Structure 1
């Protein structure tokens, strides 16, 4: 069930499940993305946590307020306000892509509110030679720029997100396409997400970076900058996997993250 909470001049939508130590889940910026479309399949493995699955401003059921701030910076403030309204002083943050950038921004601005960070191919930290953009970002920006995006354009985008293209099901494509038509972002291309590079050293929280080896959206070659910049970071790379690690490799992802949130090393046994 989707709830909404007041965050200043707007409202932020979220889904809440489970009980226990809080985890805030932050989705990516792809067309049609919502909190539950990114993480709905993972939540059963985290029933012993209080899960807050957010629709970031302008995605899903959350309206986009007028703002000149970079998207990551603005969204981070809204998420913190939502946490406050829900009585959550401190939480684990799990962020995919754009949502990973939002999580990092919160960790740099409000370190007292962050327990542990899990970042799946996070945004907000670009290499010096970008653009040109990886093909996944090209497709994402192209979809955002289209006046009348097509289902086939969505299908091409979704297929780029997974290594095993059989996971790009018709149902998934339809869901993402219909969601994108309900809230089609009106953004400059490329959007002004904001640059977190200067602040990486301020992230005190233990941080798990998770990457798909074949990611074509935020490629693995971008990971060393984060690994070197975040003082207490470790990296796990999953082979035969692209950008949607939590979807394409859900059992391994769930196991890694549960171990990490419990305070253990991210090393996981297979099977």
Structure 2
């Protein structure tokens, strides 16, 4: 059983909740969660830590504006820039010169922003259902339900939203309602709702993506992993990225929705470990 230590790290004016396992291992991985209501680092990656902490120093954070990290007022469209600054400050605070990145959905978009901003601070990167591709147009109906969750923030709506993340909702069986209620408790905290609304209020011309020229200048090796049946961020997004990030490749997982690390955990863990070890 992996022991995970929970701490709060001060970075400038903000505080980041850090969950850490495997400290002392020679290489570190920073895990970046997605954006759903009530999302936290551990809601996305609690199971994943078990598969990596034997070899890697695993750092799982709540991003600024989520979970138990700070919830400052943020201008429309500024959340990604804020978290890019916060992650770099966190690495400085922890004395880490270089880490690998694993980002889910919005966390995949943040990983790309970090690579574009300071590629020397990062090794390899993995984006799962990464958001921000330039070919996606309007949000999918399932993504719109995520964005507009607070129009109907009920246990039933949360259970439905979680089911959209999965190709096979029966994966959770009769635990789905309990998981939804637990996540709803976080989502209904006033500061969490406020941050969600601020995150998805976009200024004109802002968004999650990077200019294509910035993507083409990323020197790091990047693996885009995508569930073939993802209805939140369709796999065409990763196909678009892999044609623009020079040292990238795509691994498509069948019978899998948006949460590749949960729904196809064994496949994801095996592929991710092989990629990080230079075996893929």
TM-score of the two chains, using structure 1 as the length reference? 0.92
Matched, 1:17 2:46: no
User: What residue in structure 2 maps to residue 175 of structure 1?
Assistant: 182
Residue 195 (structure 1) aligned with residue 209 (structure 2): yes
Match of 1:53 among 60, 66, 69: 60
Instruction: Give the conservation status (yes or no) of the 8 Å contact 2:133–2:238.
Output: no
- 1:26 maps to which residue? 32
User: Contact between 1:26 and 1:96, CA under 8 Å: does it hold in 2?
Assistant: yes
Distance 2:134 2:185 in 1: 30
Q: Encode CA deviations 1:163-189: one digit per residue, 9 max, x unaligned.
A: 111134222212211111122223264
Counterpart position of 1:115: 123
| Deviating more after overlay: 24-33 vs 186-195 | 186-195
Which secondary structure state, in structure 2, belongs to the residue aligned with residue 25 of structure 1?
A: strand
The secondary structure found in structure 2 opposite 1:229 is coil
Residue pairs, 1:6-155, within 5 angstroms: 6-19=10-23, 20=25, 21-47=27-53, 48-68=55-75, 70-127=78-135, 130-131=137-138, 133-144=139-150, 146=151, 149-155=153-159
RMSD, aligned CA: 1.6
Which of 234, 242, 259 lines up with 1:219 in the alignment? 234
C-alpha contact 1:246 1:253 (8 A) present in aligned 2: yes
Counterpart-to-counterpart distance in 1, 2:21 and 2:225: 23
For 1:62 and 1:135, locate their aligned partners in 2 and report how far apart those are by CA, in whole Å: 29
Q: Structure 1: any 5+ residue segments left out of the alignment? A: 266-271
The answer on whether the counterparts of 1:143 and 1:149 sit within 8 Å (CA) in structure 2 is yes
How far has the Cα of 1:190 moved from its partner?
A: 5.1
Aligned to 1:269: none
Q: Does the 8 Å contact 1:12/1:56 carry over to 2?
A: yes
Distance 2:131 2:11 in 1: 24
Q: Does the CA contact (< 8 Å) of 2:74 and 2:198 recur in 1?
A: no
How big is the shift at 1:201? Answer: 0.8
Aligned length: 261
Q: C-alpha displacement at 1:135, in angstroms?
A: 2.0
Contact 1:71–1:194 under 8 Å retained in 2: no
8 Å Cα contact 2:8-2:15 kept in structure 1:
yes
Q: Which runs of 5+ in 2 are unaligned?
A: none
Deviation string for 1:73-100 (max 9, x for gaps)? 2111111111111111100000000001
Q: TM-score w.r.t. structure 2 length?
A: 0.89
Q: Check the 8 A contact 1:29/1:97 in 2, yes or no.
A: yes
